[in-house]
């Protein structure tokens, strides 16, 4: 393990993870709202936001899928040292990280009728995250919001699976926005 | 010597609760299982709500805790002190000043805002439990959206009582999908469940967390010929003259004299400070500032 893996974690875990979670939760409660997080200084290509989500939510109980490009030693070592999350294939993942084109969307668990919570949360690294783009409606949104998204079809299909389905975080530098399965994209 | 972790719970437990909260927000009204921990208070004291609060609080928060609308009960005071001590939060009794409100059995009268979070203490999270004692079966019923029996039971209530007799924990349907127990709030509070704030529900003994994101559609179950009515005592508050707040009835002497007063003590006090006086109220000392 490279010495760099040991750095870049939370300095004060309990407080920083509480602050980060508050933003991560608010994002999930208000789909499409862009929020700032901080605390993680992960190795490239992980963004601060993706790294902060991993530090806040992952541990040995959360199997993690790394898409190509992220499945590299520096990333693996950093995640292993700071979270202990085991690396798995997409079909067993509780969390996944990658860029859109490298995430095998159809392979992730979407939950079951009795346990819709047993589904994957995807952390999608994007090159741009802004409030121009597609229109979002649904729980957590007063009328509508707009958000930049890599496409619409996957999200439309995902919303039709409700209450099953995948939940997404989009991350860019220190910013993130969420798109749960309840959000209708047009 | 007592060295607590921030907000009492260990980090792994908080992560597990936090993940459950996120799944709850993504599936409004669905009860997410979680591994409830022992808390330094008995189950009746809202250990589910306390665990949810412990997972979301930051030192920048201002916490309000109410028990049946009141800030000053033993239960509310203990929980407030617990988080003052373990999470270094500020505390308040003013609904408008709180960033997080933990509640047992009421929703404050003052409309909650987008920047607020309300955490409900839930004793029995399963709205179908009285129909079906088996967890395996109720889980199947939710999965198949099989809510016919629930409607039959409510309709029987009407034929026996002329109205739906359930006055508390009146079931709702969330976002057209899950039937949910809103915790034992009076049905007067049900319309407030569609709100701007984030709503989180924690049941400690039953190990369930669920959530309602802001502006989610929440409908109280009813029938065309018997629409839902958010009833309250047909009276104004005797202290502050409020006509649209939920009232507690108090027997004030041996002759059975009654008095009605707002169950939301902060709401009542702030109205009295503004100069409102009920028929048995006195002008608030040092008012109109
Ligand atoms: Zn009053």
- CB contacts of A62 in chain B (<8 Å) are 19
Would you state the pLDDT for residue B286?
54
Question: B62 in helix, strand or coil?
Answer: strand
A13 class by beta-carbon count within 10 Å (0-12 exposed, 13-18 middle, 19+ buried): middle
The answer to whether B106 touches B266, Cβ cutoff 8 Å, is: no
CA distances from B125 to A136, B20, B122, B185, B220 (A): 30, 15, 6, 13, 16
Q: Give the span between the Cα atoms of B119 and B249, in whole angstroms.
A: 26
Write down the residue that tokens 């090159």 correspond to: A127
Say what the ipTM of the complex is: 0.98
Give contacts of A 154-173 with B, CB under 8 A: 162-163, 165, 167
Residue B128 near residue B178, CB atoms below 8 Å: no
Structure tokens given for B195: 């709100």
Give the pLDDT of chain B (289 residues) as one tens digit per residue: 356 799 999 999 999 999 999 999 999 999 999 999 988 887 678 899 999 999 999 999 999 999 999 999 999 999 999 999 999 999 999 999 999 999 999 999 999 999 999 999 999 999 999 889 999 999 999 999 999 988 888 888 878 877 777 889 999 999 999 999 999 999 999 999 999 999 999 999 999 999 999 999 999 998 888 889 888 888 999 999 999 999 999 888 888 889 999 999 999 999 999 999 999 887 766 544 4
* pLDDT at residue number B287: 47
| B1 burial via Cβ count (<10 Å: 0-12, 13-18, 19+) | exposed
What's the distance, CA B120 to chain centroid? 4
Residues 6+ apart with CB under 8 A from A70: A45, A46, A97, A98, A125
> What's the whole-number average pLDDT of chain A?
97
CB-nearest partner of B21 from A14, A25, A30: A25
CA-wise closest residue to A88 among A112, A102, A71: A71
A1: distance to nearest CA of chain B, Å?
A: 24
pLDDT of residue B145: 96
CB atoms within 10 A of CB B119: 29
Query: What is the least distance, in Å, from the CA of B261 to any CA of chain A?
Result: 34
- Is residue A14 within 8 angstroms of chain B, CB to CB? yes
Q: How far is the CA of B270 from the centre of ligand 1 (A)?
A: 9
Across the interface, whether the CB atoms of A59 and B12 are under 8 A apart is answered: yes
- A11 close contact with B: CB closer than 8 A: no
| pLDDT(A38) > 80 | yes
Which residue, chain included where needed, has tokens 């939060």?
A: B89
Contact B104, B75 (CB under 8 A): yes
Bridge-based pairing state of the strands B62-67 and A35-36 = unpaired
Q: Name which CATH class applies to A3-185.
A: alpha beta
Q: What pLDDT is stored for residue B95 in this prediction?
A: 98
Q: Using pLDDT thresholds of 50, 70 and 90, give the confidence band for residue A62.
A: very high
Q: What is chain B's Cα-based Rg?
A: 20
Mean pLDDT, residues A131-139 taken together:
97
The pLDDT, as a whole number, for residue B180 is 97
The closest alpha carbon to A29, from A125, A142, A119, A118, belongs to: A142
List all residues 6 or more positions away from B234 whose beta carbon is below 8 Å from its beta carbon: none
For chain A, the domains span: 3-185
Q: Say if strands A184-185 and A134-137 run parallel, antiparallel, or are unpaired.
A: antiparallel
Q: How far apart are CA B208 and CA A14, in angstroms?
A: 23
What tokens does B33 get?
Answer: 């299982």
Residue B261 and residue B88 in contact, taking contact as beta carbons nearer than 8 Å: no
């Amino acid at each position: 393990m490279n010495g760099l893996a040991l750095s870049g974690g939370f300095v004060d875990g309990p407080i920083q993870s509480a602050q980060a979670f508050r933003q991560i939760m608010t994002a999930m409660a208000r789909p499409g709202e862009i929020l700032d997080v901080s605390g993680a200084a992960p190795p490239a290509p992980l963004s601060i936001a993706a790294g902060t989500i991993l530090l806040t939510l992952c541990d040995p109980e959360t199997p993690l899928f790394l898409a190509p490009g992220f499945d590299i030693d520096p990333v693996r070592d950093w995640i292993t040292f700071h979270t202990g999350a085991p690396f798995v294939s997409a079909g067993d993942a509780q969390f996944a990280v990658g860029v859109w084109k490298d995430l095998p969307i159809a392979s992730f668990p979407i939950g079951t009728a009795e346990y819709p919570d047993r589904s994957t949360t995807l952390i999608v690294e994007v090159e741009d995250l802004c409030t121009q783009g597609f229109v979002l409606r649904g729980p957590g949104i007063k009328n509508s919001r707009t958000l930049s998204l890599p496409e619409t079809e996957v999200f439309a299909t995902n919303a039709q699976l409700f209450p099953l389905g995948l939940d997404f975080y989009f991350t860019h530098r220190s910013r993130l926005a969420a798109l749960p399965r309840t959000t209708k994209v047009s | 010597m007592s060295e607590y972790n921030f907000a009492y719970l260990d980090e792994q437990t908080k992560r597990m609760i936090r993940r459950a909260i996120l799944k709850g927000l993504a599936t409004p009204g669905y009860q997410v299982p979680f591994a409830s921990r022992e808390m330094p208070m008995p189950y009746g004291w809202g250990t589910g709500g306390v665990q949810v609060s412990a997972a979301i609080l930051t030192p920048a928060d201002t916490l309000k805790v109410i028990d049946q609308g009141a800030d000053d009960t033993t239960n509310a005071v203990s929980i407030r002190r617990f988080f003052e001590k373990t999470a270094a939060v500020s505390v308040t009794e003013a609904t408008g000043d709180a960033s997080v409100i933990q509640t047992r059995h009421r929703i404050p009268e003052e409309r909650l805002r987008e920047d607020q979070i309300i955490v409900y203490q839930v004793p029995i999270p399963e709205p179908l439990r009285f129909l079906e004692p088996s967890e395996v079966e109720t889980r199947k019923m939710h999965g198949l959206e099989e809510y016919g029996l629930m409607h039959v039971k409510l309709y029987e209530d009407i034929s026996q009582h002329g109205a739906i007799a359930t006055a508390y924990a009146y079931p709702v349907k969330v976002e057209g999908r899950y039937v949910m127990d809103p915790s034992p709030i009076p049905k007067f509070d049900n319309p407030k469940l569609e709100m701007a704030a984030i709503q989180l529900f924690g049941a400690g003994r039953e190990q369930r967390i669920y959530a309602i994101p802001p502006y989610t559609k929440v409908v109280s179950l009813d029938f065309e010929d018997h629409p839902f009515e958010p009833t309250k005592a047909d009276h104004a508050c005797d202290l502050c003259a409020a006509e649209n707040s939920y009232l507690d009835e108090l027997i004030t002497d041996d002759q059975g004299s009654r008095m009605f007063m707002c169950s939301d003590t902060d709401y009542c006090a702030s109205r009295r400070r503004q100069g409102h006086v009920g028929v048995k109220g006195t002008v608030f000392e040092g008012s109109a500032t």
